[in-house]
Amino acid sequence: MSRPLLAALTFAAAALTALPSSAQESFKIGNLSPLSGPAAAFGIGINRGIELATEDVGTFTVAGKQYKLELVPYDTSLDPGKTVAALNRAILNDNVKYGFILGSGVHGAVLPIIRQHGFFDIFMGAMGKEITNPENPTVFRFMASSDQLYYTFTPEIYKKLNIKRVGFMGPNNDLGRADVRMLKDVAGRLKGQGVEFVGEELVEINAKDFQAALLRLLAKNPDAIDTNASPTGTVGLIAKQARELGYKGYFISSTAVLEAKALVGIAGRGADNIVAYRIWSTSPTKLYQEIADRHEKKYKEPTLGTVWEAYAATRWVVEAVQKAGSFDTKKVAEQLAGSSFQFHPYGPATWGGEKSHGIRRQIQTPLPASIIKDGKWEPLEVRMGVLE
C-alpha cells in the first residue's frame, strides 16, 4: 500500500471514529474540568461530588420516564483549546446537555458554543458579571464569585480585624488582575474608615518563590495581604515566605478552596492569621459533615474543596429538571432560577445577582469566614452583607 494512500485511509478512519453515544435512559452530566495538571484537585473534587450526589439521587422520573444520573468527565487541563474540543465532543457526540465547566479563563472560548447550543453550564469559577450575565441565560454560577465576596464580605472583615492598609499578591492572570481591580475599588469605597490600598504584586502563574515580590510589598507595611485567586498551596507558600521576611499581619483569601492541614503543613505556625471565606471551621449542617465522612471513606483522602458545591449543584439541577418535567435547558434554567434548595451542605440556597450581574444566576448560600489560630480554623464572627 502506498504511503499517501495509507495516510488517506487512516485519516478517513480517524475522522469517522466518533464513538456512538449510549442511548439508554440516563441523564448525562458532563464535567469539563482539569483532571490532570496542577489544578486537577478542583476537577477531581467535582467528579466526586457528582458521584456522591448520584448515590443519593438514585433513579428519578421526568415526564413519566425513569432516569439515572451518568457522569461524563472530560479533561480540559484548564486549556481553552482543549475545553472547546471537549465541549464539542460533549454536545455533538455524547449528547451531553448539562455540565460543569471549571475556570473563568476557559469561558472566553466556550461561551459562544454554550450560547449556540443552549448548553447548561454549571459554572465553577470566580469571575463575576463577565460570565454570568443576561447574554448567557444558561450559565449558572454555583459558587461565590469574587465580586460577591469582595463587596459583601471584605469590608466586614476589615472592620472586624481593624485592617487599614491592604496589599495584594496574586497570579498574573485574568483572575488576579480582576481581583486587583475590585480590591482597589472596595478600598476606595472604604476610604471613610481609613482603609488604604498600599500596593499589588502580580507574579508568574506557576511561581513558587515570592520572596523578592513580597519584600517590595512588605516595604509598604500592610496590615493584610489579599491572596485571593491563589490556590491552597500557593497561599501557604506566600504565608511561609512572608513570615520568614518578618511579616506579622493577616492574609485574606477567598476564592481558593483552602484546607487548614495543607496550609499549616506548608507554612507551619506561619499559617496563623490566614483568613478565608468559604471555610467552615465547624460543620454548618449535618449534610456537610456526612458528605465529608462519606468522601473520606470512599476516596481515602481529605475532602477536596469542590466536593460540597458539586454535590449540591448536581442535586439541585436534577430537582429542577424534574420540576420542569423536561430536559430543555431553557425551561430548566427558568425553573432553577426561581427555585430555592434545602439540600445544600452550606445551608438553604437560592439565586441572586439580578442587580450586580443583571440576571439571577449567582448562587446565594450562607458563607462563613474563618481564621487560622494555632494551626486550626476558628470561626470569625462576621455576617455577609448584600451585593448591590
Beta strand pairing status for 165-171 and 98-102? unpaired
The HSE-up count of residue 361 (CA atoms within 13 Å, CB side) is: 26
- Complex with another protein: residue 89 or 294, whichever CB lies closer: 89
- Complex with another protein: residue 169 or 349, whichever CB lies closer: 169
Q: Which of residues 154-173 bind another protein (CB under 8 A)?
A: 172-173
User: Which listed residue (53, 57, 291, 304) binds another protein by CB under 8 A?
Assistant: 304
Beta strand pairing status for 196-203 and 139-141? unpaired
3 binds another protein (CB under 8 A): yes
23 binds another protein (CB under 8 A): no
Q: Which of residues 31-60 bind another protein (CB under 8 A)?
A: 35-41, 44
- Complex with another protein: residue 8 or 386, whichever CB lies closer: 8
Q: Which of residues 116-135 bind another protein (CB under 8 A)?
A: 116
Binding mask 258-277 for another protein (x = CB under 8 A): ----x--xx-x---------
202 binds another protein (CB under 8 A): yes
- Complex with another protein: residue 265 or 338, whichever CB lies closer: 265
- Complex with another protein: residue 6 or 63, whichever CB lies closer: 6
CB 110 within 8 A of CB 79: no
Binding mask 65-94 for another protein (x = CB under 8 A): -------xxxx--xxxx--xxx-xx--xx-
232 binds another protein (CB under 8 A): yes
211 binds another protein (CB under 8 A): yes
19 binds another protein (CB under 8 A): yes
User: Which listed residue (24, 206, 297, 388) binds another protein by CB under 8 A?
Assistant: 206
203 binds another protein (CB under 8 A): yes
Q: Which of residues 345-374 bind another protein (CB under 8 A)?
A: none
CB 91 within 8 A of CB 112: no
- Complex with another protein: residue 49 or 155, whichever CB lies closer: 49
User: Which listed residue (109, 156, 292, 376) binds another protein by CB under 8 A?
Assistant: 109
236 binds another protein (CB under 8 A): yes
292 binds another protein (CB under 8 A): no
Alpha-carbon distance of 377 to 281, in angstroms, equals 5
User: Which listed residue (8, 189, 296, 385) binds another protein by CB under 8 A?
Assistant: 8
